[in-house]
Structure 1
Amino acid sequence: MALQPLVMGIPPVRSPRGPRRRRPAKLHGGKGYDYPYLRRWLRARHITPRIARRGIENSQRLGRHRWVVERTMSWLGGCRRLHRRYERKPEHFLAFTAIATSLINHRRLTN
């Protein structure tokens, strides 16, 4: 499952006071992440899992948080070069992704 490397790869966040935060307080996820071992793994790291349970809960409660991610992915999908991965080297793809996010941020800040 890709969730564990994703959580382990979160860099420390600088806070205005005190030490840097090394982990998120809670994690929001869809029904695809509803596995007991993932919930146990998150709780062992003192992260509150907010994961919709399969067959019990409706995942629409996560819509507020999911919308931000889906909107951003849609903006990146508007960059045709990133829509299909033409580059063979991952460094080139990451560079084009960085350029696309910079352009998106520039457009958002100037409007």
Structure 2
Amino acid sequence: MDDDLWALIEPLLPPWPERSPGPWPVPDRMCLQGILYVLHNDIAWQLMPLELGFGSGQTCWRRLERRQRAGVFDRLHRILLAESNAAGEFDWSRAYVDGSHIRAKSGPPHLRHNRSPVSQSAGMASFSRGTPSLPMPAP
């Protein structure tokens, strides 16, 4: 990881809790490199070689979880997008909106209101006998 990228990431990291007895923690930069190593090479956390100096796979995994909960990666993503946009690195004419990850609502809004659970289950199509029974419109 180069110094410029680390300069963006370091201020986003949550502060360390009070020092507890035991070995000194792996430096944040080395641990982040371990996280990137595991993700890039698609290996199990337990298989990360200790010889690389990134700490154990368990240490890196815990640090990744802690940073994810703190929103570090979401903030970093926004910063990198803003910097790339400011540098003119995006061709927005080729952009599109993808809503495939948005949960679809069940029907039009006027049909979802004022229906009891019984009428909702009775109104669902049934294909048990080969011919579908269509839902009845709401009164």
Structure 1 length normalisation: TM-score? 0.32
More strand by share: 1
TM-score normalised by structure 2 residue count: 0.27
Decide which structure has greater helix share: 1
